Amino acid sequence: MKYDFTYYNPTRIHFGKEAMSKLADELQNFGDNILLLYGKNSIKKIGLYDSVTAILKECGKNVTELSGIKPNPAYSQVLEGAKLCRENRIDLILAVGGGSVIDCAKAISVSAYAKGDPWQRYWIDFESVDNDVIPVGTILTMTGTASEMNGGSVITNEELTLKTGRVFPPSVYPKFSILNPELTYTVPKIQMVSGIFDIMSHLMEQYFSGDDDNTTDYVIEGVMHSLINSARKAVADPYDYEARSNIMWCATIGLNRITGLSKTQDWEVHNIEHQLGAYTDCPHGLGLSVISMPYYRYIYKYGIDKFVRYAINVWGVNPEDKTKDEIALEGIDRLQEFSKEIGIPQTLRELGCTENMLRKIADTSILGGGYKQLDYDEIYNILKECY
């Protein structure tokens, strides 16, 4: 392990079919005023809303609701939630939904009592949080982001057409998260596979960095194997509990910082996709998939040994009588074949991106990267390749 690190994660996970039975116990640890945060109508259709509100009532909680959180949560919704928290003296934000709802909950948590403009302070200047934060708890209904066990919060400022994220310290992490894989059964297939590739992308962003023999890379390879195997089973049978439970736990492990320890990391694919999402509002994981293939084909030479290892260890590419370039490219090809196999669109056009957006997306993307530091023209050329 090349780099020193300190690891701490305060989130308590309740996992499995009976996980919801722990909610009442968790609620005893907080005050009486709850902000219930969720998306549109999906939690009502599956009966989850009724179950959660019944438990809140039994526990004597005063509930304020904020619904309609967008798949790419908007800063305007963050401000609305922050105002509700102040007006109702909220003691706990209970986020019921996928990563977008949980990201929004954390954003509301740090914004409610922030001094000045939270957007500028926390998502542009990346200042430390120096104000009181409201505790967050989560009930997860869609896997992918690992927001249920980290400090990440990706928010879209619609007025500025800017989507950006930051990782808050452990004080902002959810205090508890309830993970019942059965709650993911009714997620539409396109959202399920979007979440699957989001997980894969998180793992690759951390994996494709460094040239040392790092234990974390072995952990990532194992999680990738589990994800690929379970994804294929879940696509064939969405009610396969073992597959859905494996995917859910892969997602949580994939970005609760375990798979990033002692790694320099990349994150340029995410930087580009955030701006794609700001302009198109496309599902995050689908955008990541489309961008990943041309991005990795462009940068692989700068970290060729890791891409060779990925091809062999993750995708089982036979290296016999092949050059390093051939092995690495075959690994990327296998990744694209997997993306097609599980039903992910392969072009930006299919995600609602128009040609005149490409330059704007490129020029507003945050510059970064691992093996290769890109400039705006290189990002533009990568976007053209997947248009």
pLDDT of the chain, 387 residues: tens digit per residue: 999 999 999 999 999 999 999 999 999 999 999 999 999 989 999 999 999 999 999 999 999 999 999 999 999 999 999 999 999 999 999 999 999 999 999 999 999 999 999 999 999 999 999 999 999 999 999 999 999 999 999 999 999 999 999 999 999 999 999 999 999 999 999 999 999 999 999 999 999 999 999 999 999 999 999 999 999 999 999 999 999 999 999 999 999 999 999 999 999 999 999 999 999 999 999 999 999 999 999 999 999 999 999 999 999 999 999 999 999 999 999 999 999 999 999 999 999 999 999 999 999 999 989 999 999 999 999 999 999
Measured CA to CA in angstroms, residue 370 lies from 206, 260, 268, 285, 374 at distances of 9, 13, 8, 20, 9
In 3D space, the residue among 73, 76, 123 whose CA is nearest the CA of residue 366 turns out to be: 123
Residues 6 or more apart whose Cβ sits within 8 Å of residue 362: 272, 275, 376, 377, 379, 380, 383
Q: What integer pLDDT is reported at residue 41 of this predicted model?
A: 85
Residues 37 and 43: their CA atoms lie apart, in Å, by 11
Predicted pLDDT of residue 362: 97
Decide if 154 contacts 171 (C-beta within 8 A): no
Which token pair is 363?
């020029």
pTM, whole model, 2 decimals? 0.95
**Nearest alpha-carbon partner for 53 in 39, 65, 68:** 65
Instruction: Note whether 151 and 258 are within 8 A (CB).
Output: no
How far from chain centre, in Å, is Cα 10?
19
The answer for residues whose C-beta is within 8 angstroms of residue 227's C-beta and 6 or more apart is 196, 199, 200, 203, 246, 247, 250, 254
Pair 82, 115: CB distance under 8 Å: no
Give me the amino acid identity at 292. S
